[in-house]
Amino acid sequence: MSLRIVTAAVQDNVVEGDNTVCVPWWSYTKTALAAAALVLVSENRLDLDAPVRGRSFTLRHLLQHRAGLPEYGHLAAYHAAVKAGETPWSVPEMLQHVRADTLVFEPGHGWAYSNVGYLLVRELIEEATGMSIGPALHRLVFSPLDILDTKIASVPADLDATVWGNRTRYHPGWVYHGLLIGTAVSAALLLHRLLEGRLLPPILLSAMVAPYPVGGPIPPRPWQTCGYGLGLMVGVGDPHGRYFGHSGAGPGSTAAVYQCRRRERNRTAAAFAPEEELETVERCALALAHQS
């Protein structure tokens, strides 16, 4: 069977691609979470640079993976539990497993990708709005951007409705910050309209796209330089250009949504594939975003 890649692209007001099937967004969900948190900052309901819950890190640190929090994705016990089809651990159990009280570096003095950090971002959004994360994201991000066909997957049956189904019966509760599902077109529109400035004031959008450098080439993936903004991966890639967006992967599929930014025009593309193949979907998304 050939690999089916679901794609979409947006340039100016022209939208191309598949708006008929639903796909898991995996860690591209972080871009939506960051956007929602920054909307709350713009409304003075969250503070970007104040200590969070009496800890030494800030919301900015959390959004940029610079808080020093550990990562449950590195735990053998986590992978064993997912493979066995176990019910997701409760949040306190997960935090105990990962020893979340012990920072791996002093906040602001390092970088380490952490889903635990984005769980805290989710909780801050829910506390500030008094809503669960799904309705909060719709009020803060999707409704203002006129994107109406996304939802948070809560149970395995929610993933049954995605284009490749849920053969392993994966429980989306293992994605503690939340797992968005939606069309490829909606994924591309979210990033395109966000980077157009349709949601955030210029000072916060500038903060979102300003990267902290985290490395050079990572073959065979298409990146020559890598950085991380606030909920955005930022890098120079192949075909040559500067790209803003996010990748993600989980059991059974992979996601990549990126914008190629140029003086004359910006073009945004999304690619989703039914394999855990970051190289494949990133190269597809970057090539599609680079097209004239």
Domains of the chain: 6-290 (3.40.710.10)
Q: What are 4-59's pLDDT values in tens digits?
A: 899 999 998 899 998 999 999 999 999 999 999 999 999 999 999 999 999 999 99
pLDDT digits (tens, 9 = 90+) for 183-206: 999 999 999 999 999 999 999 999
Q: Which pTM value belongs to this model?
A: 0.97
* Range with the poorest average pLDDT among 74-78, 147-151, 288-292: 288-292
Regarding predicted confidence, which is higher, 262 or 72? 72
Q: What is the C-alpha separation between 256 and 247, in angstroms, rounded?
A: 4
Residue-averaged pLDDT of the chain:
96
Burial 81-108 (b: 16+ CB within 10 A, else e): bbeeeeebbeeeebbeebebeebeeebb
Task: List CB contacts of 245: < 8 A, sequence separation 6 or more.
Answer: 28, 31, 191, 232, 233, 256, 257, 258, 259, 268, 285
Q: What tokens does 260 get?
A: 């190629």
Closest to 241 (Cα-Cα) out of 256, 217, 259, 220: 259
Q: pLDDT confidence of 3, banded at 50, 70, 90?
A: low
Is pLDDT above 60 for 2?
no
Weakest mean pLDDT among 90-104, 146-160, 193-207, 261-275:
261-275
pLDDT at 215 over 90: yes
How many helices, marked H, and strands, marked E, lie in the chain? 10, 11
Confidence grade of residue 114 (pLDDT, cut at 50, 70, 90) = very high
pLDDT at 1: 34
